[in-house]
Amino acid sequence: MPSKLPDLNSLGGAGAGVEDGGGGGGKKWPVGFVQFLFVLSVVVCSLLYAPRLFVLTSTYGLDFFAGQTPPPNTSSSSSLVDGGAGGNANDDVAAPVLDNQVHSPCSSLPGDTICCDRSDFNTDVCFMAGDVRTDSASLSLLLFPNQTSPSANATAKEERIRPYSRKWETFIMSKVEELRLRTATDSADAHRCDVVHDAPLMVMTAGGYTGNLFHAFSDGLVPAWVTSQHLRRRVVLGVLSYNPWWAGTFGDIITGLTDHHVIDLLHDKRTHCFPGAIVGTRFHGILTVDPTRLRDNKSILDFRSLLANVYETGEPNQVTNPQRPRLGIVARKGTRVMENQEEVARLARRVGFDVEILETANGMPLSAWYASVSACDVLVGVHGADLTKLLFLRPGAALVQIAPLGVPPIARGCYAEASMRMGLHYEQYDAVGHESSLIRSYGPTDVVVSDPEVAKRDKGWGFVARVYLGGQNVTLDLARFGETLSRMHARALRVRSLQSQEAP
Interface residues with ligand NAG (CB under 6 A) are 73, 75, 82, 88, 90-91, 146, 148-149, 153, 155, 296-297, 334, 337, 437, 471-473
Helix residue ranges per DSSP H, 329-436: 341-351, 366-374, 408-421
- Name the residue type at position 344: V
DSSP code, position 177: P
User: Which residue's CB is nearer to ligand NAG, number 388 or number 436?
Assistant: 436
In angstroms, the Cα distances linking 93 to 82, 356, 408, 411 are 20, 53, 51, 47
Residues in Cβ contact with 17 at an 8 Å cutoff, skipping those fewer than 6 apart: 5, 6, 10, 247, 251, 254, 255, 261, 262
Torsion of CA 378, 382, 388, 392, to 10 degrees: -20
User: Which residue's CB is nearer to ligand NAG, number 374 or number 473?
Assistant: 473
Shortest separation between residue 471's beta carbon and ligand NAG, angstroms: 5
Shortest separation between residue 330's beta carbon and ligand NAG, angstroms: 15
Shortest separation between residue 281's beta carbon and ligand NAG, angstroms: 20
User: Which residue's CB is nearer to ligand NAG, number 96 or number 471?
Assistant: 471
User: Which residue's CB is nearer to ligand NAG, number 149 or number 450?
Assistant: 149
User: Which residue's CB is nearer to ligand NAG, number 116 or number 327?
Assistant: 116
User: Which residue's CB is nearer to ligand NAG, number 296 or number 453?
Assistant: 296
Shortest separation between residue 405's beta carbon and ligand NAG, angstroms: 12
Cα–Cα distance measured from residue 176 to residue 75, given in angstroms and rounded to the nearest whole number:
22
Shortest separation between residue 399's beta carbon and ligand NAG, angstroms: 23
Cβ–Cβ under 8 Å, residues 125 and 278: yes
Cβ–Cβ under 8 Å, residues 204 and 257: no
User: Which residue's CB is nearer to ligand NAG, number 34 or number 188?
Assistant: 188
3-state helix, strand, coil in the chain (%, to 5): 35, 15, 45
Stretch (H or E) spanning 125: strand 125-135
Residues in Cβ contact with 220 at an 8 Å cutoff, skipping those fewer than 6 apart: 165, 204, 205, 206, 208, 210, 281
Shortest separation between residue 292's beta carbon and ligand NAG, angstroms: 8
DSSP code, position 122: S
Shortest separation between residue 467's beta carbon and ligand NAG, angstroms: 9
